[in-house]
C-alpha cells in the first residue's frame, strides 16, 4: 500500500482566542480527490494553507509526502500546486509572461512552450499577450489554475476553484482536476457546495466551525446531515 500524500493528526489552529481548526484527521493517497465543503469561516482555507506550508498548525501534525508541513524543503514544495483566493499573478505581466515566470521558478525544461500549452488548455491562447490586469475575475481564476498545475504537481490544493467562474470556465477547471487525478495526483479542493465533476470519484468531507466530518456520500453532504450530527444539532 502506498504512503499517503497527505496525512493530518489532531490538527488544530487558533488565531488568538478563535479556534479555527480542531482535531482534524485527514488522509489522502495518490490519485485520490477530496472536496472539503463548508460555509464561510468554516476553516477550509486555513486547512489548505497549513497543508501548503504557509501557516504552522497550533496543535497536532500535518504531513505532506511524509514531511512535516512546518518545514517543507524545496524538493517537496516543487511537488505541490496551490490555487488560493488570491491569484498570485502579476497584473502588469501578460498571461504568457506570468506562466513563463512560474515555469522558470519550477525549473521546467521549456517554460515558454509549457506556458503556451497551458494557455491553450484553459482557453486563453488568444489573450496570451494581454496583461493580466485587463482580465476578468473568471479569466484570472483560470490562469491561476494553470499556474498551480503548470509543473504537474503530485499534490494539488485548490481553494474554491469554481468561484467566480461561468459554466465554460467551471467545465475547464473540472477537466483539469479530472486530468490531474487521472495522472495520479492527489487533489484537495474546497467549495461551499458539492460540485458536479463527471467521470471522477472524490471523497466529500464537510467542515463547520473547524470540525471535519468523516467522508460522506454527496447526497448526504448536500443535506448537511453528517456535520449536523457532529456539531450535535
Partner 1 sequence: MSGFAAVLRKDLRLELRSGESTLALLALSMLVLVVLVFALDAARVRSVDVAAGALWVAMVFAGMLGANRALLAERDNGAIRGLLLSPLDPGTLFAAKLAAALIFMAVAEVGAVILMVLFFNLEFDQSIARLAPILALGAIGFSALATLLSAITGRTRGGDMLLPILAVPIFVPALIAGVKASAAALAGAPLSSMGDWLKIMVAFDVLFVTAGYLLFEHVVGED
* Footprint on this chain of partner 1 (rule: CB under 8 A): 49, 52-55, 74-75, 77-78, 80, 82, 84, 86-93, 97, 101-102, 104-107, 147
Q: Among 201, 179, 162, 205, which residue's Cα sits nearest to residue 47?
A: 205
Quote the cell numbers at residue 210.
473547524
Q: Using the structure block, give the residue that is written with the C-alpha cell 460540485.
A: 195
Phi, psi values for residue 28, rounded to 5° = -140, 135
Smallest distance, partner 1 to C-beta of residue 161, A: 16
Smallest distance, partner 1 to C-beta of residue 55, A: 5
Strand-pairing partners, residue 11, are 24
| Closest CB to partner 1 among residues 150, 208 | 150
DSSP 100-131: HHHHHHTT-S-HHHHHHHHHHHTT-GGGTTSB
Quote the cell numbers at residue 142.
483560470
Buried b (16+ CB within 10 A) or exposed e, 4-23: bbbbbeebbbeeeeebbbbe
| Closest CB to partner 1 among residues 145, 221 | 145
| Closest CB to partner 1 among residues 66, 91 | 91
| Closest CB to partner 1 among residues 186, 197 | 186
| Closest CB to partner 1 among residues 5, 204 | 5
9 in helix, strand or coil? strand
Distance between CA atoms of residues 147 and 62, nearest Å: 24
Smallest distance, partner 1 to C-beta of residue 23, A: 23
Smallest distance, partner 1 to C-beta of residue 93, A: 7
Smallest distance, partner 1 to C-beta of residue 163, A: 15
Distance between CA atoms of residues 191 and 161, nearest Å: 8
| Closest CB to partner 1 among residues 52, 181 | 52
| Closest CB to partner 1 among residues 3, 105 | 105
Smallest distance, partner 1 to C-beta of residue 105, A: 4
Q: What is the DSSP letter of 139?
A: H
CA angle centred on 207, ends 166 and 218, rounded to 5° = 60
Smallest distance, partner 1 to C-beta of residue 67, A: 14
Quote the cell numbers at residue 107.
525549473
Amino acid at each position: 500500500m502506498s504512503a499517503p500524500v497527505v496525512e493530518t493528526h489532531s490538527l488544530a489552529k487558533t488565531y488568538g482566542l478563535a479556534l479555527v481548526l480542531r482535531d482534524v484527521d485527514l488522509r489522502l493517497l495518490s490519485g485520490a480527490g477530496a472536496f472539503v465543503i463548508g460555509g464561510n469561516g468554516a476553516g477550509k482555507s486555513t486547512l489548505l494553507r497549513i497543508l501548503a506550508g504557509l501557516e504552522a498548525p497550533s496543535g497536532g501534525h500535518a504531513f505532506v509526502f511524509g514531511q512535516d508541513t512546518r518545514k517543507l524543503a524545496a524538493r517537496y514544495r516543487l511537488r505541490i500546486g496551490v490555487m488560493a483566493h488570491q491569484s498570485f499573478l502579476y497584473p502588469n505581466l501578460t498571461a504568457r509572461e506570468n506562466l513563463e515566470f512560474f515555469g522558470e521558478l519550477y525549473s521546467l525544461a521549456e517554460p515558454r512552450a509549457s506556458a503556451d500549452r497551458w494557455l491553450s488548455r484553459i482557453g486563453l491562447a488568444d489573450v496570451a499577450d494581454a496583461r493580466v490586469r485587463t482580465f476578468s475575475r473568471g479569466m484570472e481564476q483560470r490562469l491561476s489554475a494553470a499556474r498551480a498545475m503548470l509543473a504537474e504537481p503530485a499534490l494539488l490544493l485548490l481553494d474554491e476553484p469554481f468561484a467566480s467562474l461561468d459554466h465554460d470556465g467551471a467545465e475547464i477547471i473540472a477537466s483539469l482536476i479530472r486530468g490531474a487525478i487521472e495522472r495520479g495526483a492527489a487533489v484537495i479542493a474546497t467549495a461551499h457546495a458539492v460540485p458536479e465533476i463527471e467521470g471522477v470519484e472524490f471523497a466529500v468531507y464537510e467542515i463547520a466551525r473547524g470540525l471535519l466530518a468523516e467522508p460522506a456520500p454527496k447526497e448526504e453532504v448536500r443535506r448537511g446531515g453528517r456535520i449536523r450530527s457532529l456539531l450535535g444539532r
